A and B are shown apart, each in its own frame.
Chain A
């Protein structure tokens, strides 16, 4: 039994939880922008790409070799406009923000974020258990 090899795998979990929490925060910001523009004529509701799609993509970032170079944001996730199929209702002015839908999405974000922090906490506790001296 090679037990010392085990800790390598759970460490990756922290990275996964971190990126998922980051994804949830960006989604929350997108939902917030939709709600702020709930009464703007012609505004199209937006949503970010699903986490699985964001995770699958290999992101090539440009190296900043000089201080003046413009960097590419690591958190820049692809956004998509909600069309007729995705949005629950579209008003006469062409605004596709559905308040119910946005609040439902916000509740979902809250739930997954809570899950992320709980996972991080329980794994942290697990590590502490292995580090602490008994007695």
Chain B
């Protein structure tokens, strides 16, 4: 088992990695909010979500976090009437991605907050290490 304060940086690093992966997925969803199919009646872009999993790390002696997988959201697509669109079906309806901007923005904010909290842990561990090193300084 490594030193507890060194473990803090590793754990918080894993947390930051997971949160940035989540941010990447959010960005992907927002970027593809209007990505429709190109042929008649084709399915548009399907919203993606990320799964986190706690995993016990023997070296750290604590539960680290990892990305378990990226799955698609199976909720129904939005339908819009636009007969001129290349992806429109016989009735003139176009399927739009099941991306809700409000949900994505809330997710973005939450990921950003969690990232900050992990960063704070690293900063604090660093300050604790400095305090210990400062003991060697002649007062």
Residues of A within 8 A of B (CB): 21-22, 24-26, 28-33, 35-41, 43, 46, 73, 75-76, 99, 102-103, 106, 109-110, 113-114, 117, 120-121, 124-125
Q: Report the number of A-B residue pairs with Cβ-Cβ less than 8 Å.
A: 110
Residue B4 at the chain A interface, CB threshold 8 Å? yes
A120 touches B135 (CB 8 A): yes
Count class of interface residues, chain B: 35 or more
Which residues of chain B from 62 to 120 have a CB within 8 Å of any chain A CB? 62-65, 110, 113-114, 117-118, 120
Q: Which residue of B lies closest to A24 (CB)?
A: B128
A40 touches B120 (CB 8 A): no
* Inter-chain contacts of B7 with A (CB < 8 A): 29, 32
Q: How far is the CA of A33 from the CA of B54 in the complex (A)?
A: 9
A28 touches B131 (CB 8 A): no
Which residues of chain B from 4 to 28 have a CB within 8 Å of any chain A CB? 4-5, 7-8, 11-12, 14-15, 18-19, 22
Which secondary structure dominates where chain B touches chain A? Answer: helix
Q: How far is the CA of A125 from the CA of B139 in the complex (A)?
A: 8
Within 8 Å by CB of A33, from B11, B124, B134, lies B11
B64 touches A25 (CB 8 A): no
A113 touches B128 (CB 8 A): yes
Q: How far is the CA of A124 from the CA of B14 in the complex (A)?
A: 38
Within 8 Å by CB of B114, from A24, A33, A39, lies A39
Mind listing 8 A-B residue pairs with CB under 8 Å?
Answer: A29-B62, A36-B18, A39-B19, A73-B61, A103-B117, A109-B124, A121-B134, A125-B139
* Inter-chain contacts of B22 with A (CB < 8 A): 39
A36-B18, A36-B118, A38-B114 known; A28 and B5 CB under 8 Å?
yes
* Inter-chain contacts of B12 with A (CB < 8 A): 32, 35-36
* Inter-chain contacts of B5 with A (CB < 8 A): 25, 28-29
* Inter-chain contacts of B14 with A (CB < 8 A): 36
B118 touches A35 (CB 8 A): yes
Q: Which residue of A lies closest to B66 (CB)?
A: A40
Within 8 Å by CB of B127, from A26, A29, A33, A110, lies A110
Residue B125 at the chain A interface, CB threshold 8 Å? yes
